[in-house]
């Protein structure tokens, strides 16, 4: 091993951290930085994802090529065993049973790479990751130096990643509060507007019918009447949607098993609604239960699902994955349950991404532009949220429900 200097390593790590556009983007380079200083070793970093309860793997060049680097769930023994542990664990006769147990959690990665050192990475109150390393057995100097280097660097980058996350959450919460205030005001306006429009629309409909009956069976008149009648019907539907949105009804709360709720709802949808080229799959934890209004949640879920199906229309093949999971930051009492509807469509164009939750905004010829807007307001009444993430590979809509 070349002469190791902790100060040199930290300066090099700090420079790489500064060059990365965000602290989280520094993570993929971290195992490589250690590999540069400890050429005889091989390293894999497991770090907690920004969303969900999974830990993602980042490897040095050799580790990345040699292994599949699977995700590891937070409840896995590999993670739980180090949540309250600050010291590194070495492979030995006494700890071999633990390494064998951990190996099952990461798809045989530990045996495949010959991992014999696991270093927990934390800063302040945050436990955020693990460094898995292969070191020459008995090389105490390298083991000590690698452990110190990894843990000291973690004390530098973990708080930065957490600060970024908190800043993002604060911005998101401020934006949600701003949007919710607008929802309340728009709801009041919608109720007034809907009541004002109902009467003249009904009057126009009756008068048009009377004109048609006086003009007889002229084909041009009949065609014009059908067109006017159809458009008034569409306007009436929009008015009814506004009234539904503006009226507050008491929540009908009950206990729901989310997997059962999703599967039952899917069975209620006619099969003709699902194009044969679209594959729909459900990935859900059997045990996730919430207390919510099943009818309102079903209305939102179906609307989001149909939007996903429309995004795949015209494509030769596509997939919709419905994922149900829980996530929390730091403490289980902060848990939230998520129904994620993910499609492999073209995604939402960047030019309109910020407008999709605006009322009356739509790209559909026959759309009212109220579907997602009303869905968002329903999720807020359920003390939850509706989040949209989209890129060119597809769109994910999260229906967020409180755990408590």
Q: Is the pLDDT of residue 261 over 90?
A: yes
Distance (Å, rounded) from C-alpha 296 to C-alpha 277? 29
Q: Is the pLDDT of residue 254 over 50?
A: yes
- The model's pLDDT over 41-92, given as tens digits with 9 standing for 90+, comes to 889 999 998 777 789 999 876 665 445 688 888 888 999 999 888 899 999 9
Distance (Å, rounded) from C-alpha 404 to C-alpha 383? 10
Instruction: Using pLDDT thresholds of 50, 70 and 90, give the confidence band for residue 1.
Output: very low
Q: Give, rounded to a whole angstrom, the gap between the first and last alpha carbons of the chain.
A: 53
- The model's pLDDT over 311-345, given as tens digits with 9 standing for 90+, comes to 898 788 899 999 998 887 555 556 789 999 999 99
Structural domains of the chain ordered from first start: 6-166 (3.30.450.40), 250-404 (3.30.565.10)
Contact between residue 281 and residue 259 where contact means Cβ atoms under 8 Å apart? no
Predicted confidence at residue 297, as pLDDT, reads 93
**DSSP per-residue string spanning 92-127:** STTTHHHHHHHHHHTTTHHHHHT--EEEEEEETTEE
> Which positions ≥6 away from 79 have C-beta within 8 Å?
46, 55, 72, 73, 105, 130
Instruction: Using pLDDT thresholds of 50, 70 and 90, give the confidence band for residue 123.
Output: confident
Predicted confidence at residue 66, as pLDDT, reads 47
Contact between residue 110 and residue 104 where contact means Cβ atoms under 8 Å apart? no
Specify the pTM: 0.49
Predicted confidence at residue 182, as pLDDT, reads 59
The residue whose two tokens read 């995700």 is: 71
Strands (E), 207-364: 253-257, 278-284, 289-293, 318-327, 336-343
Distance (Å, rounded) from C-alpha 156 to C-alpha 14? 8
Backbone torsions φ then ψ of 290, nearest 5 degrees: -135, 160
Least confident of 231-245, 290-304, 312-326: 231-245
> Which positions ≥6 away from 13 have C-beta within 8 Å?
30, 33, 153, 156, 157
Q: Which of 131, 127, 134 is nearest to 149 (CA)?
A: 131
Tokens of 24: 């989280």
């Amino acid at each position: 091993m070349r002469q190791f200097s902790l100060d040199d390593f930290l300066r090099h790590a700090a420079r790489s951290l500064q060059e990365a556009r965000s602290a989280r983007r520094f993570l993929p380079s971290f195992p490589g930085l250690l590999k540069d200083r400890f050429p005889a070793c091989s390293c894999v970093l497991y770090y907690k994802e920004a969303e969900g309860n999974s830990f993602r793997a980042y490897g040095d060049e050799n580790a990345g090529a040699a292994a599949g680097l699977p995700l590891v769930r937070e409840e896995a023994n590999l993670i739980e065993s180090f949540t309250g542990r600050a010291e590194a664990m070495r492979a030995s006769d006494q700890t071999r049973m633990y390494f064998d147990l951990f190996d099952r959690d990461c798809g045989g990665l530990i045996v495949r790479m010959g991992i014999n050192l696991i270093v927990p990475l934390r800063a302040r109150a945050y436990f955020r990751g693990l460094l898995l390393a292969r070191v020459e057995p008995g090389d105490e100097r390298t083991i000590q130096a690698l452990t110190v280097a990894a843990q000291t660097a973690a004390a530098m980058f973990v708080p930065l990643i957490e600060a970024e996350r908190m800043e993002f959450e604060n911005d998101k919460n401020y934006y949600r509060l701003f949007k919710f205030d607008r929802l309340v005001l728009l709801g009041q306006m919608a109720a007034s507007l809907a009541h004002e429009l109902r009467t003249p629309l009904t009057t126009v409909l009756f008068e048009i019918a009377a004109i048609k009956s006086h003009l007889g069976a002229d084909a041009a008149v009949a065609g014009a009447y059908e067109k006017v009648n159809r458009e008034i019907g569409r306007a009436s539907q929009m008015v009814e949607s506004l009234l539904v949105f503006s009226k507050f009804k008491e929540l009908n709360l009950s206990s729901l098993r989310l997997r059962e709720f999703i599967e039952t709802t899917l069975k209620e949808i006619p099969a003709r609604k699902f194009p044969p080229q679209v594959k729909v799959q459900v990935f859900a934890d059997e045990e996730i239960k919430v207390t919510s209004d099943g009818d309102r949640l079903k209305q939102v879920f179906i609307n989001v699902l149909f939007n996903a199906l429309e995004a795949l229309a015209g494509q030769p093949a596509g997939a919709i994955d419905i994922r149900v999971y829980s996530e929390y930051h730091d403490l289980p009492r902060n848990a939230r349950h998520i129904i994620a509807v993910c499609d492999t469509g073209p995604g939402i164009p960047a030019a309109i991404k910020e407008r999709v939750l605006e009322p009356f905004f739509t790209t559909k010829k026959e759309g009212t532009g109220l579907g997602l807007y009303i869905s968002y307001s329903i999720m807020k009444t359920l003390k939850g949220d509706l989040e949209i993430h989209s890129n060119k590979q597809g769109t994910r809509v999260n229906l967020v429900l409180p755990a408590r």
